[in-house]
Amino acid sequence: MGYRPTSLSSYGPPHDARYSAIWVHEPLGPDLQMTHDVAKPVFDSWVEKLRKRNYVLTHVTATGAEEEAIFAGVMEEDRKPNKTVWKLDCGIKNWKPFTERTESGLKMKTQGFSSYGTPDKRKYCILRHENRGNENFALYADSKEEDFQRIFRGEISKPFWRPKKLFMSNDLKIAGLFTDTSVGDWYSDTHLNETALEATIKEQTSKGLILTDIQGGVHEGEEFYNVIFQELLEPKTRHWHVTGKKPEYRHWYATWKGIVESPRKAKSLDSIMEKFMKTNGVRQAQVAIASRGVIKAERAYTWAEDDRETVATNDTFLLASVSKMFTAAAVDRLINSGKLSPETKVYKRLGYFDAKDERANDITFKQLLEHKGGYDRREAGEDISLGFNKVTMSLPTKGNRTATTRDVIEYMLAHPLQFTPGEKKAYSNYGFMLLGYLVSNVTGIPYMDFLEKNIFRGLDVELYKTSPYEHWHDRIIQESRLTGLDTLRPMSNRSVAAVYGGYGAIMEECTAAFSLKASASTIAKFAGSHAVSGTGRRKNGYRRGNFEGARTHVESNGDFDFAVVLNTRDFAFDQEFEDLTENKIRPLLDDMVPQYPGTKNKKWEYWRGCG
């Protein structure tokens, strides 16, 4: 035919169904098959018949009450060498679980969505395709206009996010599908009548934008439309860039068999990172390897569209819990200077003696450092470092001012511990917030000032601030699919990006736990003289960071220290990052040339730790 649809929707009663669609000229496109105005059994049979002929369902829509609903769809011939995995589910009552399901061990993404039935007996069709490249997306359904506008503002507060589809039910509720792929300029609008639709099309096309999505609905006999216009019909392609100092490998080394060629020299760091980033959709990353504080390799990686920055080796990334390495160094300095001891009772040192749980009075510095302070976020059902809104609303001011670290401390003192301090280990962000507050209290200066004067020693480490207005010019975009209530304005009912206060944390109050930013090279250098896990001088071990918009790793192993920083934690599968650091990058160290080549690269004397 030479045309293919970019959107398709049906609406109105089955006996008088109406359709809206957009067709684009594509003379060399794949063969298409279409059907419409058919009952579900007929539609299902049509789909399965074409599936067997290697056709892929690209559009699905339905209208009418469940018993009399009619369906329409488009299928196209799959010409890809690796056939597309796809799945259609119709007649479902709850759409949410289907957006995250895997099929055949593959991660899927929402391709199409349709709401039908009646308001009190709503049904859904969800079409999912294999998510090659791990594209980010978010789906929100059954939203009234006022709710959708709040959702919409939250979604586009995430850098580069935009609406991809604005599906609509017959009672005009919106299902918004959002993504972070780039199409240049774009514009969207909702609930337009025919007159407004005509005017909007004229206005936006005069600006050079293309109508790519139109979804219709009928209410009290009048038709309404949701529309999306884009500068580009298809998303921009990503490009691969690598900069920085290359690793220096041993090409030959001695074994009991004699001098042999290194088997790992072909497994370059660059090829490892390229495969990882393209598989998982990671746009920005750095890897640095140091020996005795001297950088032996620092690589900056970009797998992104041309409207994103190309990563440089000195760009700074949110460190997440790798920030705790600096807190441990600060505590160690105070202990060595005699201002504190490992057995210092933390709350008593801060002047608190009235904890609801008397066991809290005996929590020591050492116990907090070792995550043995009695706080277990899993048993408590919350991580209070991500619960600033809750603490803010518990104050007498009831949201008129945001909570501080001191407010969080006093909130926690009014609640019981989950176990007796020292009894076991349970990871605690709050414990490190408490340590940072104590460092400031003991030294009499703000925590960051103490770090800058005594710990960083010229290294480029900064605070990752909460407000989105602080990040207009960021070169590194910390990417997350999530949004949440704005912790800086909890009474506004405003949704913002998770990394800009929507994850429940006020970053300025959590500096000691997870709020610092730095480059991979900075982290690798620092690890050359400090323990990455625990306190004291350098020793084998590792520390990991895992926060919305960030995944980080620093490790000391034999002669080398290496760091990996990524601008997201949304991977194809959860184990991807551990596989990268443990099974891909760590073995490369055996072939690296240390700062003092005569030293022996000790085999793994591993003090495991991620806190």
Integer Cα distance of 504 and 513 in angstroms: 14
Sequence-separated (6 or more) residues with CB below 8 Å from residue 449? none
pLDDT in tens, 28-83: 888 999 999 999 999 999 999 999 999 999 999 999 999 999 999 999 999 888 88
pLDDT at 427: 97
Integer Cα distance of 603 and 80 in angstroms: 46
pLDDT at 602: 42
Asked if 124 and 113 count as a contact pair (C-beta separation under 8 A), the reply is yes
Q: Which of 124-138, 249-263, 516-530 has the weakest average pLDDT?
A: 249-263
pLDDT at 608: 36
pLDDT grade, residue 249 (50/70/90)?
low
Integer Cα distance of 316 and 415 in angstroms: 37
pLDDT at 77: 95
Percentage of residues in the chain with pLDDT exceeding 90? Answer: 84
pLDDT in tens, 536-559: 999 999 999 999 999 999 999 999
pLDDT in tens, 451-461: 999 999 999 99
Integer Cα distance of 10 and 216 in angstroms: 7
| Ordered DSSP codes for 455-473 | IITT---EE--S-GGGGTT
pTM greater than the 0.85 cutoff: yes
pLDDT at 80: 83
The neighbour count for residue 325, using CB atoms within 10 Å, is 24
DSSP H or E stretch at residue 302: strand 294-304
CA 593 to chain centre: 35
pLDDT in tens, 442-494: 999 999 999 999 999 999 999 999 999 999 999 999 999 999 999 999 899 89
Q: Which of 134-148, 355-369, 376-390 has the weakest average pLDDT?
A: 134-148
528 versus 253: which is more confidently predicted? 528
pLDDT at 261: 44
Amino acid 339 reads K
pLDDT in tens, 287-321: 999 998 999 999 999 999 999 999 999 999 999 99
Q: Per the structure block, which two tokens stand in for 573?
A: 């599968």
Amino acid 241 reads H
DSSP H or E stretch at residue 453: none
Percentage of residues in the chain with pLDDT exceeding 70? Answer: 94
CA 428 to each of CA 170, 321, 354, 410, 610: distance values in angstroms, whole numbers, following the listed order: 48, 11, 22, 17, 11
CA 313 to chain centre: 22
pLDDT in tens, 13-37: 999 999 999 999 988 888 999 999 9
Q: Per the structure block, which two tokens stand in for 591?
A: 């072939």
pLDDT at 104: 74
User: What residue spans define the domains of the chain?
Assistant: 3-230, 239-315+519-611, 317-513
What value does the mean pLDDT of the chain take?
92
- The CATH fold assigned to 317-513 is Beta-lactamase (3.40.710)
End-to-end CA distance of the chain: 60
The mean pLDDT of 258-265, rounded to a whole number, is 45
Kindly list the catalytic residues: 321
Residue 252 pLDDT exceeds 60:
no
Amino acid 357 reads D
